[in-house]
Structures are given as structure tokens and as C-alpha cells.
Structure 1
Amino acid sequence: MRTNGQCNNISRAAIRYAFHDAAAYSSKTTFYLPAAGGADGSLLLSSTEINRKDHDGLRDYHSVLKSKFNQYKAAGYPIGAADLIQVAGAVGVLACPGGRTGIVMVGRQDTTQAAPDGLLPQAFGPGSDHNTILQLFVDKGFSARDLAALLGAHTTSIANFQASNGIPAGTPQDSTSGLWDVNYYNETYYPPAGIGRFDSDINLSANMSRTAVGYQFKSFVGLPAQWGASFASAYNFLSLLGVPRSVKSTMQDCTTVVNAAFPS
């Protein structure tokens, strides 16, 4: 997951894939077992979910992860798809120098049922405005500060499927896309040459009212420790979206094992 000491496209895909599996959740959807969307492995196990447009750019990684999952199962390892997705995402973060994920838990329940559609944020067009995205995340249980912190993962983002929105393939969202740092926050406001910005990020960062995302977004400019702590907390919450309380009580902490992949 590292190339020349920096995180690479496999790391980026692992982070994004973990987000997409977990974030397809809303407290407003009907609950169904074993989860309710959320971190339930459906992105890997469903035959249809990965084909949604939201997941453009993730299908190659999906094939790699599915192959790994099948290998582990064939070898007799009692590993779940949901856990594999989230552990891989956490390792992807740690592969980026400066990365921090907080507590990593395992013991989720899997489902082959596709998650509800329409629950992931849109980078451009309808649904990319501040209020729509903030409400989408409030319905998942996040605050404006949580959302601002999660957006910081775009520090390693490289856009490959936004040419129709004016961003050429291979364009990063900050000038140090191989590092886990806070350059993204300031560069969203003052983009240097060669940086691409999503409309959603511009819209979220621009709203400076005290209850808005932009107020929190700006608070992370130049402050990696504050962002790191907020991101770790929000990312841990994200990784458990949709997991029933009865299941959470039986989960196990594997943070030490995950951190050993890329010791700080």
C-alpha cells in the first residue's frame, strides 16, 4: 500500500471502499438484519451494489479484495467481508505517512443484500450543496465537525472519473496526495495549480455559520493534531454504522494488530 514511502492507489481505493460500504446507511431507513446498510460487507458480497455509479473507480480494487476474501475463506480463516473491508481501509490510512485511525474493531455481521441506494454524498450536481450533504450525514449520526474531519481524507484523493466536471484524470485534491496531512483544508480555499476541487467540498467549506461545516472545516487549517483526533473519532464511528448494539458488545479490538502494519 506504499510506493516510495507514500501511500499509493491501493491505499486510496481501500479508504474509499471502506467509506462506501459503511456510509450507505441512514437512521431514516427501515432496519433489517444483520445490519441496515452500513458496515455490513454488502459492497463486497452483493452482486449488484458495486455496479452503481457512486462506485466508479473502485471495481478493480473490488476484484482484488474479493479474491483475497475468497482465499482467506478457502484457507479456513473465520474472516467476515465487513471486517476485511474496514481493516483494509484502516491499513490504507496508516499507509499514508501521518495516518491515524483510532480504534479498529472486528466482529461485524455480513449480508449479501445490497445497501439502500442514494445514501452516499454527491461531489457534483444535484445533492452536492452544503445543506443536503450535512443532512445526509446528520441522518447517519454525525455532527458538522465530524463531517469536516472526514472530508480531510481527501488529502490523499486523486480524481480519475471527473473529466466531465472539468477535472482531468489523475488530478489530486491537494499538493501532497501521498501524505496524510492538512494541506487539503487550506488548498480547498486557495488551490495551487494542478489541484482539483469537488463542488461538494467547495460548498461545504464555504458556509461559515456556527452550525455549518465550513466553520469546522476552517478550524483544521494548519492544525494536524486537532484534525487527527477528530478524524480518528469520526472514522471509528463510520466503521460501525448500522452495526446493531448487540453485535457491538461482542466485537473485539484489533487496533494493535492493524497498527503493526505500518508502525509510526
Structure 2
Amino acid sequence: MAPRIISILSLTLIITISLLSISSTNAQLRNNFYGVSCPNLQTIVFNVMRDSVRQQPRLGASILRLFFHDCFVNGCDGSVLLDDTPTFTGEKNALANRNSVRGFEVIDTIKTRVEAACNATVSCGDILALAARDGTTLLGGPSWGVPLGRRDARTASQSTANSDLPSPFANLDTLITLFTNKGLSARDMTALSGSHSIGLAQCFTFSQRIYNDTNIDQSFATLRQSTCPQDTTTGGSNLAPLDIRTPNRPLTGTNRFDNNYYQNLINRRGLLHSDQELFNNGSQDALVQLYSTNQRVFFQDFASAMVRMGNLSPLTGTNGEIRRNCRLVN
């Protein structure tokens, strides 16, 4: 056989093997992973989330944030759910999580019901991924197919949580770098930031902005200053809605998860410094303007970015474990 033909065949074989390898990696998570082993999984998760969000709408945002904080620390492996013990340091007391992340009881309830239906089958990481999707949808946001098949970590990293989770005080370059380091684009970052259409923030996370930033609507700053003192020694835990336009609308009727967050940014009414950085004469201004007028595009981009974020470094196969209790390793 001629050398040229051999070279072409060799190159073809290498490309084929590479594509199969990539396909195998991407196929590790799939939407119907529990189709046989736990066919009622998604119904169980949805029912608990529906009841929880009806009782306390804020929980939809809390679970979504919990998923984000899980995925950004060594991948979507349920590590953020682990409690500290005398011999184990988890991530719950990292700077971005301490007295801030919430919704653990909801995940506990889902896990208990899932275990009753499908013992030792479904990971806490997958439960959290489904719950984040359902909480978003219940508040009027988009839905998406959730790839499943994650396993749970036996470890956690408080130091990685401290270094990798975005700060509410971060500038645009830092935000883009943090997301790029995870394999997510600046567009993903701007779309995912739209989760701040729902939820609340504590005063200490935005006090510097409302008293010191110049790219802020003064009437908005004054309104927020009425419940958030400049010295957060007292009042630092006072809450304010991340989206001033639709903070407390009912679950029926007008959606709460919407593109008003981006309209806030254009009007210089982003609550966090990191929010307003997305529209501050920088690289994301045009995308913010697009999302502010086209909710359909925002929803599409948000759903796609959530799937990409959910694919960050999953534990699969025999790696990790299926926790019986989401707060503790087996």
C-alpha cells in the first residue's frame, strides 16, 4: 500500500478514535439515565420543589444558587451539600457560602423520598441539578433537559470555594476569567447572571455599591440605603431583592424569572457591583441590551449555559459514590 494512503488511513483512524473518545465523554451524562432504575425520579423532585416554592418562592432562587456554588467547586458533585464534622471540612463555611447558601432541607426532603422509591440509586448531585431546573421553571423561567448520571464526591474543598466562586465585588475582567477557567464563555456568564432576576441579597454584599459607586441611579441608591447602612456592623444581613422590577409577584400571572434584570442594568439599577459590571461600557453591553429586549434569546442562552455548567467535571462510572444522606459521605 502506498505511503500516502497509509498516512491518510492512519490520520482517519486517529480522528475516529478521538471523536469516539469525545462522544464517550459527552455520553457519560444523559437525560434518561434513570429511566429504568428510578422512573419516577423527575416527578418526585418536581413535586417537592412545587410545594417548597409555593410555601416560600425564594427557595427557587436558593436552590439555583446552591447548584451554581456546587458546580463551580471541583464540578457538579454534591460537595456543597456536605456538613462539617470534627474530621471533615466542607464548603458551607466558605466566604461565599457562610450564612448565605440555603435550601439544604429541601434537598434532604427530596433525597428521603427518592431513597424510598429507588434505594441507593440517585446521586445528590443529580437531585440538585433537577431541583435547580424545576425551581427556575416554577418561577416562570425556561426549562431544559437535565443530563444525569453524576455521582457524589467524598471530598469537598473550602479553599477552592474561596478562590473560585465569583465575588459580588468583582470587576468584569475577573468575572470573565473565573468563568473561562471553568470552560464557560463570557456569553454563558452574562446569561447565567440572569438568575439574579430572582432571589435576595444581604446588605453587606451591596453596601459599597449603593454608597460608593458612581454608575448607579441615585433614586435606586437612596431606596436601598434606607434599609442598608454604610457601616454593616449592624444591618449587614438585611435583605433586598436582586431584581427591583419583579421581586414579589405571585407565582400565577406575571413571571418572576424574566429579563427585567437586564433592564435594571441598562437603567444603572443592578444591585451588586458585579451585576452592573455587565453593563458598564464593557464587552457585554451589547449582549445585555439584547437580553433586555428579547427574553426568548435570554431564555435559550440561559438554558444552554445551565446544561454546560451542569457538565463541569462530573464524577461518573465507579468514581465517587451514591450518598444515602446528602450531608454525609457513606
TM norm. shorter chain > 0.5? yes
Q: Aligned equivalents of 1:189 and 1:78: distance in 2?
A: 46
The equivalences for 1:20-169 within 5 A come to 20-24=69-73, 37-45=74-82, 47=84, 48-66=90-108, 68-70=110-112, 72-73=114-115, 76=119, 78-97=121-140, 99-115=141-157, 116-117=160-161, 118-124=163-169, 128-162=170-204, 165=207, 168=228, 169=238
What's the CA shift string for 1:39-81, capped at 9, x where partnerless?
Answer: 0111113532111121145454224423543564466251211
Alpha-carbon separation, structure 2, partners of 1:160 and 1:89? 21
**Using the alignment, how far apart are the partners of 2:291 and 2:204 within structure 1?**
26
Query: What are the Cα deviations for residues 93-113 of structure 1, in whole angstroms up to 9, with x where unaligned?
Result: 11112x113221211011121
- Distance 1:236-1:133 versus aligned 2 partners, 3 A rule: same
| d(CA) in 2 for partners of 1:43, 1:243 | 14
Q: Which secondary structure does the structure 2 equivalent of 1:12 belong to?
A: helix
Q: 1:70 to 1:52 in 2, by over 3 A?
A: farther
TM alignment of 1:173-192, pairs within 5 A: 173-174=242-243, 175-177=245-247, 178=249, 179-190=256-267
Q: Which runs of 5+ in 2 are unaligned?
A: 1-48, 85-89, 211-223, 229-237, 250-255, 318-330
Match of 1:204 among 232, 253, 278: 278
Q: Secondary structure at the match of 2:151?
A: coil
Taking structure 1 as the reference length, the TM-score comes to 0.75
Of 135, 149, 171, the match for 2:240: 171
Distance in 2 (alpha carbons) for counterparts of 1:66 and 1:100 = 25
Shift of 1:196: 5.7
SS at match of 2:167: coil
Q: Provide Cα deviations, 1:133-153, integer angstroms capped at 9, x if missing partner.
A: 101101111111111111111
Aligned length: 224
| Alignment check: 8 A CA contact 1:42 1:49 kept | yes
Q: Which has the larger radius of gyration?
A: 2
> Does the CA contact (< 8 Å) of 2:203 and 2:240 recur in 1?
no
CA-based RMSD of the aligned residues comes to 2.7
Contact 1:46 1:112 in 2 (8 A): no
- Three-state SS of the structure 2 residue aligned to 1:202 is helix
**Matched-pair contact (CA < 8 Å) for 1:22–1:40:** yes
Q: Letter of the aligned partner of 2:308 in structure 1?
A: F
Q: Which residue of 1 aligns with 2:38?
A: none
Structure 1 residue runs without a partner (length 5+): 25-36, 248-264
What amino acid is the match of 1:172? P
**TM-score, normalised relative to structure 2:** 0.61
